[in-house]
Amino acid sequence: MSEPLQPGAAPEGGIAAVVVLAAGQGTRMRSALPKVLHALGGRSMLGHVLAATEPLAARHTLVVVGAGREAVEEHLAQVAPGAQPVLQAEQRGSGHAAAVALAAVPELEGPVLLVNGDAPLLTAGTLAALVEGHRAAGSVFTVLTSEVGDPTGLGRIIRGPGGEVRAIVEERDATDEQRAVREVNAGVYVANAATLRRVLSGLATDNAQGEQYLTDALAPLADGGAPVAAVRAADPDDVLGCNDRRELAARRRTLNDRVLDELMRAGVTVVDPATTWVDVTATVAPDALLEPGVHLRGTTSVATGAVVGPDTTLVDAAVGEGATVLRSHVLGSEVGPHATVGPFSYLRPGTRLAAGAKVGAFVETKNVQVGEDSKVPHLSYVGDATIGRGANIGAATVFVNYDGVAKHHTHVGDHVRIGSDTMLVAPVTVGDGAYTAAGSVITTDVPPGAMGVARARQRNVAGWVRRRRPGTAAARAAEAAGDAGAETAADTHADASE
């Protein structure tokens, strides 16, 4: 039986805490939104970092907040309620931020992972390799590095004659020789908590920014003979940060390419990766087909054999096996197996299509259940309704669900035929097997098997065009068709009454 962990201690082979530095202003984003909350691929930058650190199963996850504190804390409560925000009231550098985080858990012992909150491409595998490298080297401080073609703006890894890590130098403080170094600091570290506390307490501010740099913690340890190490990331993209909108766009493209590559390797057909965007939170089964112009967002799932697109956006939607969604926008809805949607349909939240159902061209739905093999082929609005099996809703039908104050429900039974241009004024029920006549305004229930007719009787006023529109093309056409202007007394009376 294993010994119980002391408070704040790390699990065997793991880490005691994750510290995410997310207090900076992010002024280069030119945004009222805190930098770490800018989104890509279905998560905020901070959300991506937390997702990458989660598999490490740290006993504490500390997120240092400052600029935009309220917004960041609110976001944390939604995406990582177990994380603890720690306030850095005055932004005095990354070293100061790390010290503030450690002060929040004074009992903490063992390895601590420190990571910036603006590194959305970090992967759990890269972090696991860093932690393992730290453990294997017996190091007190280990830095994640990367070899890049253009190191401009990044801290350089300075090594000694034997290749040992000696220091991290920020570009603004580097010499010309140091700026030529292409191995750069990724801004991710693992360090022993006690050692980190000690070295952070002695950090100076004699640098270009007048701040306490976390990177300055490495040099005094190395100079004092403490074991320090570096682990190089296998993929240089993993360590890329994000400081402005251009970099955000580039990170978004890289992340999406990774997602699509994984899907295609798993058996999904992506016709045009350049125009297809899939959030990391979406799932697509093998043998699904994504046509050009597809956007899968949120918790969307697409089952085997389904065809999505072209030019389709699904948000928090579920598309069943063998279903088709063509040139449509689907929000918070379920498309059942072998159902069809589109083109140019808008499925709003609460829509559920059963197997084989059809929602056709220029149809809008909201909070509706459409039964098996039922059809809403075109040009209709269906809201707050239940439609049974095998029903057909004629063109230009409107489910009139709102009275200006409250929404009301319409129930359409099995194998019902709703005539074109019918208004179903809720609350109303059309019983199983019933019909409604085209052009009807249905305000009362239609019993099963009945025909609901609610329209005025047609009457024709002879000669009206000749009298009221003389000399027009319509009058000439009518005369050519045989309208000699004959007029009955009833016609004269009708004309006079208009």
CA atoms within 13 A on the CB side of 217: 35
Give the sign of the dihedral formed by CA 297, CA 300, CA 303, CA 305: negative
Residue written as token pair 């049974």: 388
Give dist(CA 340, CA 445) in Å, integer. Answer: 29
> Which amino acid belongs to residue 219?
A
Q: Of 48, 96, 329, 378, which residue is the catalytic one?
A: 378
Active site residue 38: no
Asked if residues 226 and 111 have their Cβ atoms less than 8 Å apart, the reply is no
CA atoms within 13 A on the CB side of 135: 17
Of 271, 274, 273, the C-alpha closest to 288 is 271
Give the sign of the dihedral formed by CA 87, CA 93, CA 98, CA 104: negative
CB-based burial, 186-210: b 16+ in 10 Å, e otherwise: bbbbbbbbebbbebbeebeeebeee
Long-range contacts formed by 376-385: CB under 8 A, 24+ apart: 383/407, 384/408, 384/409, 384/410, 384/426, 385/409, 385/410, 385/411, 385/412, 385/424, 385/426
Asked if residues 15 and 190 have their Cβ atoms less than 8 Å apart, the reply is yes
Of 36, 120, 101, the C-alpha closest to 62 is 101
Q: What is the largest CA-CA distance in the chain?
A: 117
Residues marked active site are found at 378
